[in-house]
Structure 1
């Protein structure tokens, strides 16, 4: 990342920063390892990720770059799945794990920095965790470094919340991305339209295809409609309900060199680089938890994906080369 020197220089004399970098710039896996060499960084670095899959993938990527197995210098901690040791210096954790940790230990003893990745997603745990960290910094840990990171962040608003922290921006995208809007018929089922778009993309473009759908049911119905694909195409389903080994298979390179086709929920929206993906097909829909005042409970609602979300989704296509979305 071209802006790393500026970020490191700032954090030597200040405690807060906001980093805005486009998808594929490497902020998730580049910033934390760079901070380890700083004189003020004598403890652990926590990297907050909004999803368990992204947390595991980020830790595994940093460990691979360092030439060591995950769980040594670089580890992760998610619900029901943890890989870390006494020597772990960088731990990627989900937002819920961080909230529980800072509530149990408001001083964050032994922690030198907290990096909030993909803060634009604005989850309850993410916002609450950032507020608690800012409060802990003001009351207990003036030396604690806090960095908010995203590709589509409203930097000024978060900078104000973090005491007027500077916004450090990385300009430009590493690879060109071509955007195409093909639309869909209002009377047609979303599964039929997406399956048609996938077959069109496979026929007109080169490289793997990542498809975003709102939920598991839509993924399974699209998979049914894509039956009979050529043998050189490897179809994967990717959502939070499948086992971690199947999730890893979906985001790793195909061992036999086949073309990858991944049908995913928003679990693949951020912080992931899937080898070989050059095309993104986006349904434009997302299923989000929303509080129902009348029922007094939270329920899942299918709605149009936000502009920030569709920008992140499109960015998956151009992380390793020119892409189409």
Structure 2
């Protein structure tokens, strides 16, 4: 039996809110358990006779969430719990919860605007802004108003300004979870903006490894920066295993980066924003943040969407820092 998560304390309140009305807003800190505990808790509700769609920002998060929840059921993905991403899918005839990316959801919504057979749509980390995320929320609100007044819509986030977002949803019940109380120490090392970021991140990673005995997660804007940082690190201590975590890494290597390290070892994970939300990296007690992110931005002059390296948002850096204190003080 899994240990109770902080989110379990507010699940009765959340269930009652969705019994009384079609929408709710849930704010829970990183590590509270909202991504993996909320969908199973809603399956037994009287209004839940169809599918629950769990929308997560990234393919890794969709697969990891489905695998974790399925494990709690003693099953494999594709049975009660499944997932759908652009390149991978495990959904069966008995599936009740499907974790999916916003792009896959938009395709489903365009093919079936009424969302036939769907009882609820859960938007995880709804504060993350992108064209797909915003469009998915807007079209779901439109479909619920015009075609499916019975459709449940739950928006979940760790860093959202709840009051402002509640107005967008029509002022539904706002439920807050306190989360875990592991202490988190923040230290600003500063960086030279005129110098390359990779050697500076490598120095910070070595410092973090030297000062504590847990694993380290470092955030970098892209794959090229991860590779250059790996080169800059040089030879690591014998007990440290280096992992890369980004969308181009194969699923088996992604699982290794997320899992607890082998006994007597610890991890150094160099990751893009793929590790920012909706996943837990076991054993991590320190986060090194470059403060940068690579985001799609529309260039009006060129009429194209480009990837731009920019400062990470406050919500993003808050989420990243929280990775260090999900299982222990960080």
Specify the alignment match of 1:54 in structure 2. Answer: 61
81-90 vs 148-157, greater mean Cα deviation: 148-157
Higher deviation after alignment, 306-315 or 240-249: 240-249
Q: Unpaired segments of 5 or more residues in structure 1?
A: none
Shift of residue 318, structure 1, vs aligned partner: 1.1
**1:307 is the counterpart of 2:307:** no
Equivalent residue runs for 1:65-144 within 5 Å:
65-144=72-151
Counterpart in the other structure of 1:37:
44
Of 195, 209, 228 in structure 2, the residue corresponding to residue 188 of structure 1 is 195
The alignment yields a C-alpha RMSD, in angstroms, of 1.2
Which whole-Å CA distance do the structure 1 matches of 2:195 and 2:140 have between them?
A: 47
Give the TM-score of the pair, scaled to structure 2. 0.95
Alignment of 1:1-12 (within 5 A): 1=7, 2-12=9-19
Per-residue deviation, 1:13: 0.9
Q: Where has structure 1 moved over 3 Å in runs of 4 or more?
A: none
Q: Which runs of 5+ in 2 are unaligned?
A: 1-6
The answer on 1:163 being equivalent to 2:170 is: yes
Aligned residue pairs total: 323
TM-score, normalised by the number of residues in structure 1: 0.97
In the alignment, structure 1 residue 199 sits paired with structure 2 residue 209: no
Aligned to 1:237: 244
Q: Which deviates further from its counterpart, 155-164 or 196-205? A: 155-164
Distance 1:232 1:3 in 2: 40
Q: Alpha-carbon deviation of 1:95?
A: 0.2
**Is the 1:24–1:174 contact (alpha carbons within 8 Å) kept by the matching residues of 2?**
no
Counterpart contact for 1:195–1:226, Cα < 8 Å: yes
3-state SS of 2:77 partner: coil
Q: Distance in 1 between matches of 2:254 and 2:230?
A: 16
Q: Tell me the CA shift for residue 310 of structure 1.
A: 0.1
Tell me the alpha carbon deviations over residues 189-217 of structure 1, each in whole angstroms, 9 at most, x when there is no partner.
21111100100110011200000001111
Check the 8 A contact 2:31/2:179 in 1, yes or no. no
